[in-house]
Amino acid sequence: MSTESQRLAAFVARASYDDLSDSARAQFKIRVLDALGCAFGAIGGGGAASDRAAFYNGALVRYLDFNDSYVAC
């Protein structure tokens, strides 16, 4: 019996960019460019240990990206 993680890993290992539809490729490019834009927006000065810097910058990227899809009630 495989776990969800193992099934996801197997899917990712056999997936190919060529398997994506034209629409999915276009959306993929938009999402990657959006994440890069958020990463540039999250860049700050200062210094930190590499593991903390990676966590901090990753969190900032996701935070800025989350703001793109904020749904107000």
22-57: per-residue pLDDT in tens? 999 998 888 888 878 777 766 766 677 888 878 877
Say what the pLDDT of residue 34 is: 80
Burial class (CB in 10 A: 0-12, 13-18, 19+), 61: buried
Q: Could you give the CA distance from residue 25 to residue 10 in angstroms, rounded to a whole number?
A: 21
The model's pTM: 0.48
| CA atoms within 13 Å, Cβ hemisphere of 23 | 0
Say what the pLDDT of residue 69 is: 62
Say what the pLDDT of residue 70 is: 59
Q: Could you give the CA distance from residue 49 to residue 53 in angstroms, rounded to a whole number?
A: 6
Whether 42 contacts 60, CB under 8 Å: yes
**Per-residue DSSP letter, 71:** -
